[in-house]
Every structure is written in C-alpha cells, then in structure tokens.
Amino acid sequence: MSRDMSYEAVMARKNEIMKKAVGIDYEIFESGSIAFDYDRMMKETGYTLEEMQKIQGAVGVGNTPIIELKNLTALARKVAPHGKGGRIFIKDEAANPSGSFKARRAANAVYHAKKLGYKGVIAATSGNYGAAVASQAAMQGLKCIIVQECYDSKGLGQPEIIEKARKCEAFGAEVVQLSVGPELFYTFLQLLEETDYFNASLYTPFGIAGVETLGYELAMQMREKYGQDPDVVVCTNAGGGNLTGTARGLLKAGAENTKIIGASVALTGLHMASDQQFNKKSFTTGHTGFGIPFATWPDRSDVPRSAARPLRYMDRYVTVTQGEVFYMTEALAQIEGLERGPAGNTSLAAAFGLAQELNMEQMIVIQETEYTGAGKHLQPQLAFARANGIEIRFGKPQEEMPGQNIILPEHPSMIKAQELDLDRSKKSLIKNALKNFNVQEPTAEDIEFLVKDIKSDEKFVRNTIKELLKEN
C-alpha cells in the first residue's frame, strides 16, 4: 500500500521521518516534560573538540585568520567619548572552502552522514549553509539536495538567495526552489522520506559542535597573538547555532570572562512567512525575524530538540538597522580593503557601536565573515529594494521603518547598537515552554532546566512562572 503523502499525513509522520533521517533517538534524553538532558545529548551524539578539529582539518575547514581592523578602530575612536574605542578584530571565516563559518557545521554533518552509511544529504536553507553542505558533500562523494524558500507568489527571488542557489549548484547540488509558505517543511519531509538521505540539519548536536572549533580557535589565536582573551565576542544571531557553538568553544578554551553579544538586523513588523512582505526585507538571515523566535523557542527547528540554544550563552542582545549594515559593508571594503558579505557585517555594525563603549585597551571580535558575490553585494540588494518600493536615502538610522525604507547613516557617529530586553526574551522562552508542553506545575527538574536554558537563576524563573500562571 502506498503511503499517504497529503500535507496532514506527512506532517503527522514528521517525528518518525526525522528520527530515521538524523540517526538520533531524541526520546532517550527526554524527561516527559519541559526538561531534557541537553548536556548528555551534546556529549553522546556530538564529537570531541579534537575529533572535530581532525574532521575539519582533513577537508580544509578552519584555521582561519584573525585580522585587526585598525582603520575602523581609529574611526570608532574619533566618534567615541574621550578614552573610549576598543580594538576591533574579525575572524575571517570567508577563508573556508564554501566561504562562511557554516563549513564547520557542514563538515561534521556530512562526515557523520557518510559514517552512518547514508548515500546523500538534504538541507533546508536559504543561507550559506546550503553552499557549505553542497561543498562538503562533493568532497565526501555524497549526493546533495538543498531546499530553498526563494520566491514570492509572483516568482520574484531576492538576489542574495539566487546567488546562494548558484553557489550550491556550482558544487553539484540539486536545488529545489520554493515560494514562501508552509510547503518548505512539507517538501523537505517528503524528500527525506523518498530518498532516505541524511537530514543535515543546522540544529543537530554534531552541527552545533562543529562551530565549537571556531570559538576555541578564536580564543587560542587571540592569546597567541595578543596575550589575552577577547573582552567581547559579537555573533550574528539568527537560528542561534552560530552563537551557541562559538560560546561553547570559548568556554572549552577557558575564556569564561569573555562577554557574548548576539546581534541581529532589526526587522520588526515584517512577517517572515508573508508572501507580500517576503521581498520587503534586504536580509535573508541574521535578522530579528529569525533571531527572536528561535531564541525564545529553540525547538521550533527541524529536529525534535534543537542543540542551538542561544539564551544559554548570551550576555547581551543588540540590533542594528539594514542601512547601518550596508554602510559598514562599504566601510569595510573602502577603509580596510576587505569585501565581505552581509551576515558578518551585521555583527561588524554592532561591534562598531559597541567598541565606543569599551576602553581603548579592550578587544572586541566579530567572530565571522562571509564571502560576497553578485547577489550578495550591497548594490544589487539596494536596487532590488528600490524596485520593490523601498525608499533608499541618507538620514538617521533610528528613523528606519522596515518594509518602507532603508536609511544609510549620514555620519558614522550615528551607528549605534540598540539594546534588546534580554529578560523579556527569557520570560518569553518560559512562557513558550509552559504553553507548548501544556505544563501548569513545572517539576524541580523543569525549573533547573529553565534556569540553565536562559542563563538565569531560580528566583527569576519561579517569579516568571508565578506571573504567567496569574495571567491565565
């Protein structure tokens, strides 16, 4: 008898499909309530740091350089208060084979797939991860399918996503391009079931563990070159894996005093799954449309329990505007001679503002860069925005209205990272946990888990739960 491939039937089988496609029985880590054994999951299904370094080294991934941005540091000091202006550095992850840090995640995921005997890998992503998986699959001799949410209902695709599809195809992957909507996950599940390929998810323990090498490497390079750990590391935040893996690697290096700051492009008011609003934004990743939902509920991902849990490691969360990121993209090219893509420049824009808070001897590191290409470059991005009715002008960044305009700063002194209320995000995670697991009275184990999951204390968690139960 043939399987029922209707939307309802496929979605009902999602846990069964995922388990077969990832090779992890997530149930063994479950407690039956909100809590699950995150540390055990990472330990038993991941790889040691040494194993990851060996896997990545064999395919030319990692050991990317640290570069001090002396000219941008000097510019930040010109607009900072007297005596302020920390030294700005980047970890140049564009040097990886596929042009981004996601080569680290992909190297582990594809290696693991081959080790388990899968014939191919599938990833659902409109970002750099698709190119990274395709590149690694080519190296390992595996088939590769990348599923992209690419177009609106009129068949218009963002230039950045089209560029990433080109890169995936260049590495030999089959790219399935879809319009925005719920069919992405449905199609992804269908393909996993039909092909019996490995789900090279961004959110598996071995995917996140792959990024730990980045944080560890960063700390070791800073010590070797400058004799100290960085004071601040800024991570562009979308689904949370970038920040989670980097922070875990820093901790494994013993850099316990380094502050971890997440940075996203502010796209408040734009719905990421809206057909009408899909092409009203100029950033396909690293924005609040992913960063906030995934931070406040990590398990919305394509695995039963996400290994990317950014609130466990985040000390601050800030936003920057689209115009500020475009401005810093141009500044990096023209002042430092480095042309890089938009995602890493999100954290660069944030770091430029944050550096003005630091003393001059302190060090702030942007932990990734990414390659640029025809569609990723700021000129086609701005041209596409203008064609979609977005006003482009110079002015005050704080007046930018996502979906209506992009405001390039009139002066670099206007670039400021805006603080997000981290406590509010932590309360949202607790609220989502209670709701999604239908819990009225959390157990002591649940409380302990939530304390760790939001990097807080028991008093905060219990008070938040009490407030939420009163509201209901």
CA 12 – CA 14 distance, rounded (Å): 6
Give the structural domain span for 319: 59-97+208-419
Are 105 and 201 members of one domain?
yes
Are 42 and 148 members of one domain?
yes
Contacts of 48 (CB under 8 A, 6+ apart): none
Are 28 and 47 members of one domain?
yes
Are 127 and 217 members of one domain?
no
Q: Does residue 2 belong to any structural domain of this protein?
A: no
Are 232 and 190 members of one domain?
no
CATH code for the domain of 293? 3.40.50.1100
Q: Does residue 398 belong to any structural domain of this protein?
A: yes
Work out whether strand 363-366 and strand 232-236 pair parallel, antiparallel, or are unpaired.
parallel
Predicted TM-score (pTM) of this structure: 0.95
Which of these three, 183, 205, 227, is where a domain ends? 205
Structure confidence at residue 7 (pLDDT): 87
Structure confidence at residue 69 (pLDDT): 98
pLDDT tens digits for range 343-366:
889 999 999 999 999 999 999 999
Structure confidence at residue 263 (pLDDT): 98
pLDDT tens digits for range 419-467:
999 999 999 999 999 999 999 899 999 999 999 999 999 999 999 999 9
CA 175 – CA 80 distance, rounded (Å): 46
Are 437 and 363 members of one domain?
no
Are 201 and 212 members of one domain?
no
Alpha carbon 343 to its chain's center: 9
Contacts of 43 (CB under 8 A, 6+ apart): none
Q: Which of 296, 306, 266 is nearest to 405 (CA)?
A: 266
Decide: 317 and 238 in contact? Cβ < 8 Å: no
Structure confidence at residue 15 (pLDDT): 79
Tally the domains of the chain: 3
Q: Does residue 269 belong to any structural domain of this protein?
A: yes
Residue 152 — very low, low, confident or very high, per pLDDT cuts 50/70/90? Answer: confident
CB burial string 5-33: b at 16+ within 10 A, e below = eeeeebeeebeebbbebbbbebeebeeeb
Look up tokens 């480095």; give the residue.
Answer: 338
Which of these three, 378, 399, 419, is where a domain ends? 419
Structure confidence at residue 295 (pLDDT): 97
The pLDDT of residue 370 is above 60: yes
CA 85 – CA 100 distance, rounded (Å): 28
Decide: 437 and 414 in contact? Cβ < 8 Å: no
Are 344 and 305 members of one domain?
yes
The pLDDT of residue 1 is above 60: no
Q: What is the mean pLDDT of residues 151-170?
A: 89
Are 285 and 380 members of one domain?
yes
Q: Does residue 236 belong to any structural domain of this protein?
A: yes
Are 372 and 463 members of one domain?
no
Q: Does residue 1 belong to any structural domain of this protein?
A: no
Q: Does residue 179 belong to any structural domain of this protein?
A: yes
CA 53 – CA 44 distance, rounded (Å): 18
| CA–CA distances in Å: residue 80 to residues 361, 396, 450 | 14, 18, 38
- Position with higher pLDDT, 55 vs 25: 55
DSSP E strands, 165-244:
174-179, 198-199, 232-236
